[in-house]
A and B are shown apart, each in its own frame.
Chain A
């Protein structure tokens, strides 16, 4: 419950773009276009995360969230509505485009009735027991990895370019990732994550996406951890873009009061 980088906008950034870029002939440019995909000035929605273990047991987490993007800063506020033991907990983060500047993050714990500033380190931790790490859900900049086109493939009837990415930093949690980016639509339809030993760890698949207010929006994704036989299904609903969310929303007041 600390560096909750989760944001569907960020997830969308990771997965897709509406760039009609015939000139994206190399992998770096493809991933940069994915990263630069328009996501609106603000977004709000309800996120439901279903955790399924190998026995089929389900655990469900529900979150209301609002996001506002400005030139150099993106503000996110998440308000947990289920399960009962985390209800009314809220999380706020301010992310900066300035290289090297860490996120500012706060968490409100209703039992303590206090807002705590927290450190944004630990991006390799898993978010709320799911199969997504904070890093999986965050804004990973293209220049943090090297990229290589390793092939083309048709997935679910859609032509995809396959891009392999490796971190430029030693010690990153994944030795490499492989992303199937839909040609001409530029949505990452599938992504494989390999562990530090080079073994397949997780597979992310987009199950549903559509345009809302002109923005490509992924509404249903599934992350399968092959080593743990564990799955996380993430669904986004009640999505609204560009409603003019005030900057005042991202404040101590809303964290305590809720969205």
Chain B
């Protein structure tokens, strides 16, 4: 609610402010979309029936600007969901841009992965299936960019921590975790109080040159995903497990990273990597009373984009490695993944075929996303696609029963 109040207050201030700018009118744009998805099984069921209204009101004059981006999701079986993806005010000074309010901030050079993209948390209620614009959650922030020619210094302050939104209990996207006993959940420690000391700070230096684009960044943040502290109680008489209590908590995280992209011949070469300090991992080591252990880890990718036979290709290799690893940690020491994209336009860019896939190398699992898009008219687009999960385990294999066909009809204005 605080978040909503702050956003509404910002809109109020901003809209009042526009009365003094009478010379130019705000620009209203957005889209309306129907999204229907069916689980592909012997007994097909609707995975999603969603109507979306996404509006964007933008205004800019000389040294100020604003954007308000409300959205509305309508589902047949639930109430309307209404929210603000962004609502911010811009100030453009000589070489300094200041943005205040709710905003999506996206960093990094990777596609479909979140390595140095550490500011806006994710809405994972539908896993990685929505458009990335909808996966990123807007956060209340003060963002300042100081520009000096090809140099850009960015400072971001977040007064309020916003965690990842996890799938609801009972959702087909909620990962199943099995325990020998039904655990009790203690949710009293999951919230991070709105205190100054609980704020987040991020900084980035960017350089854009003919040779390469380079980012160097860091953040004093929170782990967007809660750590599940597990307390086991043994029956003293039988020495068997008597109770399991799970206490989800967010922990501080320090992140340092870099990203770059350059062109070599006809190939774009991209890379980004980050080191994370303060991450907690589940462990089977009985000496860890709460079932977790703190370890640093690194995550990086190398990727390339190129064109061949009028097809745009993109490929990435991603590795996550836990440092100072111990065998009791539930996660593997190394996790390797590949992404691949192929895309081709036809009929004067009105018809597009694309195929995107995540492939988990260690578990031999994958998510395959073939899609056809047809622009029926300017702004009106139909999409027919599939989300196909392959494997039995791993990040994607666990959703093997969630294969889905979908149709989206979207009108942008």
* Interfacial residues, chain A to chain B (CB-CB below 8 A): 2, 51, 57, 59-60, 83-85, 87, 94, 102, 104, 106, 111-122, 125-126, 128-130, 230, 247-248, 251-253, 257-258
Among B261, B307, B348, contact of A116 (Cβ-Cβ < 8 Å): B261
* Cross-chain contact A104 with B210 (CB below 8 angstroms): yes
Complex Cα distance, B345 from A129, in Å, reads 9
Contact A248 B104 (CB under 8 A): no
Q: Which of B131, B208, B266, B413 contacts A251 (CB 8 A)?
A: B208
Q: Which residues of A contact B263 (CB under 8 A)?
A: 102, 104, 117, 119-120
Tell me whether A84 and B348 are in contact (CB under 8 A): no
Complex contacts, A87 vs chain B, CB 8 Å: 29
Would A126 and B131 count as touching, CB distance under 8 A?
no
Flag whether B152 is at the interface (Cβ < 8 A): yes
Q: Which of A116, A130, A253 lies in contact with B97, CB distance below 8 A?
A: A253
Majority SS of interface residues in chain B?
Answer: strand
**B328 within 8 Å of A by Cβ?**
no
With both beta carbons as reference points, the residue of chain A lying nearest to B110 in the complex is identified as: A114
**Is A252 within 8 A of B206, CB to CB?**
yes
In the complex with contacts A117-B262, A248-B149, A84-B210 CB distance below 8 A = no
**CB-defined A-B contacts under 8 Å, sample of 6:** A2-B307, A112-B133, A113-B106, A119-B305, A251-B147, A253-B152
Q: Please pick, from B270, B305, B378, the residue contacting A83 in the complex, using a CB distance under 8 A.
A: B378
Contacts of B133 in A (CB 8 A): 111-112
Whether A84 lies near B413 (C-beta < 8 A) is: yes
B306 at the interface (CB under 8 A from A): yes
Is A119 a contact of B349 with CB atoms below 8 Å?
A: no
Is the pair B208, A119 in contact by a Cβ cutoff of 8 Å?
no
Would you call B82 an interface residue if the criterion is a C-beta within 8 Å of the partner chain's C-beta atoms?
A: no
Q: Tell whether B184 is near chain A: CB-to-CB under 8 Å.
A: no
B275 to chain A, nearest CB (A): 22
Given A117-B262, A117-B268, A51-B152 contact (CB < 8 Å): no
Q: Which residues of B contact A253 (CB under 8 A)?
A: 97, 145, 147, 152
Q: Contact between B213 and A117 (Cβ–Cβ < 8 Å)?
A: yes
Residue count of chain B within 8 Å CB distance of chain A: 44
Contacts of B266 in A (CB 8 A): 119, 121
Nearest B residue to A51 via CB reads B348
| Chain B residues within an 8 Å CB radius of A248 | 147, 149
* Residues of A with C-beta under 8 A to B104: 113
Chain A min CB distance to B112 (Å): 10
Whether B132 contacts A119 by the Cβ 8 Å rule is: no
Contact A119 B268 (CB under 8 A): yes
With A83-B379, A117-B263 known as contacts, the answer to whether A111 contacts B413 (CB < 8 A) is: no
CA of A256 to CA of B369, assembled, Å? 29
Instruction: Kindly state the separation between the CA atoms of A85 and B261 in the bound complex, as whole angstroms.
Output: 26
**Contacting residues, chain A, for B307 (C-beta < 8 A):** 2, 119, 121-122
Closest A residue to B307 by beta carbon equals A122
Beyond A251-B208, A252-B206, A253-B147: 11 further Cβ-contacts under 8 Å? Answer: A59-B378, A84-B29, A85-B375, A94-B210, A104-B263, A113-B105, A117-B262, A117-B270, A119-B306, A122-B310, A125-B310
Which chain A residues lie closer than 8 Å to B349 at the CB level? 126, 128-129
Nearest A-chain residue to B97, judged by Cβ:
A253
CB-CB contacts below 8 Å: B246-292 with A = 261-263, 266-268, 270
Interfacial chain B residues near A120, Cβ < 8 Å: 263
